[in-house]
Chain A
Amino acid sequence: MSSKQTFINIDRVSKHFGDVVAVDDVSIDISAGEFFSLLGPSGCGKTTLLRMLAGFESPTSGEIHIDGKAMSEIPPHQRPTNMVFQNYAIFPHLNVAGNIAYGLRKDKLGKVEQTRRVDEALEMMKLEGYGQRKANELSGGQQQRVALARALIKRPKVLLLDEPLGALDKKLREEMQLELRALQESVGITFIFVTHDQEEALTLSDRVAVMARGDVLQMAAPRQLYNRPVNVEVASFIGQMNFFDAQVVDVQGEKVVLDTQGLGQVKVASNGDLLQKDNRLVVALRPEKLSLSLQREVQDHVVRGELATSAYLGDRSHFFVSLDGYDKPVEVAGQESGLSSDRALERGSEVWLSWAEDSLVLLPAP
């Protein structure tokens, strides 16, 4: 992201609640117009970080700069950020129009201009005709649109979203994901999005920071995060992953030979510091990067196994295959290449798993 200028600079920020360290020495740079997600399990510090950006919590140490200005002395109501709250925080004593116009008080717009702006916002959010409704007469999705309109009408430089889709059901959530992304592209401001749903983070974001225990584990674009996780924790948090303990047994010029539990001996290209002789490491392989067949069709990168169980999912199937020397069944996803789709494979059938060399991910041993 060196091509774009840093717009938000989180500089070695920590937050302690008593003895609990919620955010531990985190540094993140975010550029203008970026859709940035903070992803992690509950309690990982992502919401605390977001609330520090909004100003509701102050960092125990470190500093946050937005648009070149230090934020520590600036109270939340004077920051160039607006927030969409997890439960939307729609004011129950105001109607929809009143909620949306709430932040315009200080702009002293005059009635006509204010009404125009509110109508504009209602239109943008597809809420025409809902202006006079009360908050408790709205559905979850509508409440979320009101919360978005209310925040965006302030024309903030940064929009903070605290798990805004968490309360919606699955179908509505997928719809709103698309809308949210389109919205961000049309208003062109920075979105910072907190979520515990990895799929949501990957779908929406330009970049994702994966957090755990107050730390940022990895910060990368979704594609890279998925294909090249930096450690076992990130790899297991994002999508499904099979892990195999491994040890470097031989270095043969450009190739390195690994002895793995389950996959047997595999050769990989020798790059990176991990591949010193006798080094222990973990080899990771996504279920969809494995292909399953009934005959041995290739010579290299293939291993024999026994089908333990399978799950039919309609558009695809998941197979769980036991390998010699490996205690957990390996998960394989994908079309059943060369298999009849009408007949299920029997348990205990002999199967062959193969993979492409570059789909192996090498991770440090935990």
Chain B
Amino acid sequence: MKDVSYINRPNRPLFVYAVLFLAFLYVPVLFLPLFSFNDSIYIAFPIENWTLQWYRDMFDNEPMIAALMNSIRVGAVASVLSTFLGVFGAKAVTRYRMPGRDPIVTVIMAPLVIPGIILGVALLILINRVGITPSLYTITLGHVLVCVPFSMATLMTRFEGFDKSMEEASADLGENAWWTFWRVTFPMVFPGLLASVLLCFTISFDEFILAFFLGGTDPTLPLYIWGQLRFPQRLPNVLALGACILVISFIVVFISQWLTHREPDSTRS
């Protein structure tokens, strides 16, 4: 390839490495869907008989469906709430110069690095001392806490790529703040909002550790799966359910990420 400059020359060993790396990321995860079609309740190669029975069973599994509905409810509320908080935060942080900006951002982003167990335990103590019974509400609160940093990060890239003079132009052309928001700001950040909602939904939907500490009698789907892992004979059901979750998560996150990174490819000369 003489088209590519010296620095960017193709590097075959690195390409092979990249493919191996992706294989390391994806192949292990693919075993769940693979064995979900296995007739036997034991995981073993070679797979003798294929079946869809475990998928059929899911429809009759009432506790599982209840857990699924709980997860969807928690995820929907948590994702909308944290995106709502994320918009305010991201806009303030990217638009206004203010003293103490960096420490504030650090605090808001802290749940990214704080181990889940610490957050879980601390929140458990809070709701216990305040006298709130653990429930889906407390799980939602915990999920908002972990989702806001991701929402902020997603939306900040959106706001940073957004020229402030667009809003000024709108004001200059006679629109007030309200209509400027609806006619200029909102259409431009909408993909970011959607990406944030989708991402937060997935995070909440898959979140286990906080739900484990903050959950009451109503389990979310990860809690339900955790409970099932104790029973070896329920393994195929877990595999089938896991396969469904993986596929749906992949699709939702892919859309979310695509919306976030959708800028045209930068090709250097």
Task: Specify which chain A residues have a CB less than 8 angstroms from the CB of B7 in the assembled complex.
Answer: 56
Alpha-carbon distance between A17 and B7 when the two chains are bound, in angstroms = 16
Interface size on A, residues (CB 8 A): 12
Interface string of A18-57 (1 = CB under 8 A from B): 1000000000000000000000000000000001000111
Give chain A's interface residues, CB within 8 Å of chain B.
16-18, 51, 55-60, 75-76
* Interface bracket on B: under 10
> A18 contacts B6, CB within 8 Å?
no
> B3 contacts A51, CB within 8 Å?
no
> B6 contacts A56, CB within 8 Å?
yes
Interface string of B1-17 (1 = CB under 8 A from A): 01101110000000000
Closest to B2 in A: A58
Alpha-carbon distance between A18 and B2 when the two chains are bound, in angstroms = 10
> B3 contacts A75, CB within 8 Å?
no
Task: Specify which chain B residues have a CB less than 8 angstroms from the CB of A75 in the assembled complex.
Answer: 6
Interface string of B134-172 (1 = CB under 8 A from A): 000000000000000000000000000000000000000
Can you name 10 A-B residue pairings with CB atoms under 8 Å?
A17-B3, A17-B269, A51-B5, A55-B6, A56-B6, A57-B6, A58-B2, A58-B6, A59-B2, A76-B6
Task: Specify which chain B residues have a CB less than 8 angstroms from the CB of A60 in the assembled complex.
Answer: 2
> A18 contacts B5, CB within 8 Å?
no
Contact of A16 among B3, B5, B6, B269 (CB under 8 A): B3
Chain B residues 246 to 269 lying within 8 A of chain A, measured CB to CB, are: 269
Closest to B8 in A: A56
Task: Specify which chain A residues have a CB less than 8 angstroms from the CB of B6 in the assembled complex.
Answer: 55-58, 75-76
Closest to B3 in A: A17
With A17-B269, A57-B6, A58-B6 known, 11 other A-B pairs at CB within 8 A are A16-B3, A18-B3, A51-B5, A55-B6, A56-B5, A56-B7, A57-B5, A58-B2, A59-B2, A60-B2, A76-B6
- Shortest Cβ gap from A51 to chain B (Å): 7
Task: Specify which chain A residues have a CB less than 8 angstroms from the CB of B2 in the assembled complex.
Answer: 58-60
Alpha-carbon distance between A75 and B6 when the two chains are bound, in angstroms = 8
Enumerate the 4 nearest inter-chain pairs by beta-carbon distance, A residue then B residue, closest first: A56-B6, A56-B5, A58-B2, A57-B5
- Shortest Cβ gap from B184 to chain A (Å): 33
Task: Specify which chain B residues have a CB less than 8 angstroms from the CB of A18 in the assembled complex.
Answer: 3
- Shortest Cβ gap from A154 to chain B (Å): 18
Chain B residues 196 to 219 lying within 8 A of chain A, measured CB to CB, are: none
- Shortest Cβ gap from A164 to chain B (Å): 19
Alpha-carbon distance between A17 and B41 when the two chains are bound, in angstroms = 58
Alpha-carbon distance between A39 and B64 when the two chains are bound, in angstroms = 73
Task: Specify which chain A residues have a CB less than 8 angstroms from the CB of B269 in the assembled complex.
Answer: 17
- Shortest Cβ gap from B48 to chain A (Å): 53
Task: Specify which chain A residues have a CB less than 8 angstroms from the CB of B3 in the assembled complex.
Answer: 16-18
Alpha-carbon distance between A16 and B1 when the two chains are bound, in angstroms = 11
Instruction: Pick from A16, A17, A59 the residue with the most CB of B within 10 Å.
Output: A17
Chain B residues 71 to 93 lying within 8 A of chain A, measured CB to CB, are: none
Alpha-carbon distance between A289 and B206 when the two chains are bound, in angstroms = 80
Alpha-carbon distance between A14 and B27 when the two chains are bound, in angstroms = 46
Alpha-carbon distance between A344 and B106 when the two chains are bound, in angstroms = 66
Chain B residues 1 to 38 lying within 8 A of chain A, measured CB to CB, are: 2-3, 5-7
- Shortest Cβ gap from B30 to chain A (Å): 37
Alpha-carbon distance between A58 and B6 when the two chains are bound, in angstroms = 8
Alpha-carbon distance between A76 and B7 when the two chains are bound, in angstroms = 10
Task: Specify which chain B residues have a CB less than 8 angstroms from the CB of A51 in the assembled complex.
Answer: 5
Task: Specify which chain B residues have a CB less than 8 angstroms from the CB of A76 in the assembled complex.
Answer: 6
Alpha-carbon distance between A56 and B2 when the two chains are bound, in angstroms = 10
- Shortest Cβ gap from B1 to chain A (Å): 10
Alpha-carbon distance between A336 and B53 when the two chains are bound, in angstroms = 100
Interface string of B48-69 (1 = CB under 8 A from A): 0000000000000000000000
Instruction: Pick from A57, A75, A76 the residue with the most CB of B within 10 Å.
Output: A57
Task: Specify which chain B residues have a CB less than 8 angstroms from the CB of A58 in the assembled complex.
Answer: 2, 6
Closest to A77 in B: B6
Closest to B269 in A: A17
Task: Specify which chain B residues have a CB less than 8 angstroms from the CB of A17 in the assembled complex.
Answer: 3, 269
Closest to A16 in B: B3
- Shortest Cβ gap from A8 to chain B (Å): 19
Task: Specify which chain B residues have a CB less than 8 angstroms from the CB of A56 in the assembled complex.
Answer: 5-7
Alpha-carbon distance between A337 and B2 when the two chains are bound, in angstroms = 59
Alpha-carbon distance between A55 and B6 when the two chains are bound, in angstroms = 7
- Shortest Cβ gap from A79 to chain B (Å): 11
Alpha-carbon distance between A55 and B2 when the two chains are bound, in angstroms = 12
Alpha-carbon distance between A52 and B3 when the two chains are bound, in angstroms = 12
Closest to A76 in B: B6
- Shortest Cβ gap from A45 to chain B (Å): 12
Closest to A59 in B: B2
- Shortest Cβ gap from B244 to chain A (Å): 44
Alpha-carbon distance between A60 and B3 when the two chains are bound, in angstroms = 8
- Shortest Cβ gap from A172 to chain B (Å): 27
- Shortest Cβ gap from A194 to chain B (Å): 14
- Shortest Cβ gap from B265 to chain A (Å): 15
Closest to A57 in B: B5
Closest to B1 in A: A58
- Shortest Cβ gap from A50 to chain B (Å): 12
- Shortest Cβ gap from A41 to chain B (Å): 15
Alpha-carbon distance between A16 and B2 when the two chains are bound, in angstroms = 9
Chain B residues 106 to 147 lying within 8 A of chain A, measured CB to CB, are: none
- Shortest Cβ gap from B8 to chain A (Å): 10
- Shortest Cβ gap from A30 to chain B (Å): 22
Task: Specify which chain B residues have a CB less than 8 angstroms from the CB of A57 in the assembled complex.
Answer: 5-6
Alpha-carbon distance between A18 and B6 when the two chains are bound, in angstroms = 16
Alpha-carbon distance between A51 and B7 when the two chains are bound, in angstroms = 12
Closest to A58 in B: B2
- Shortest Cβ gap from B236 to chain A (Å): 52
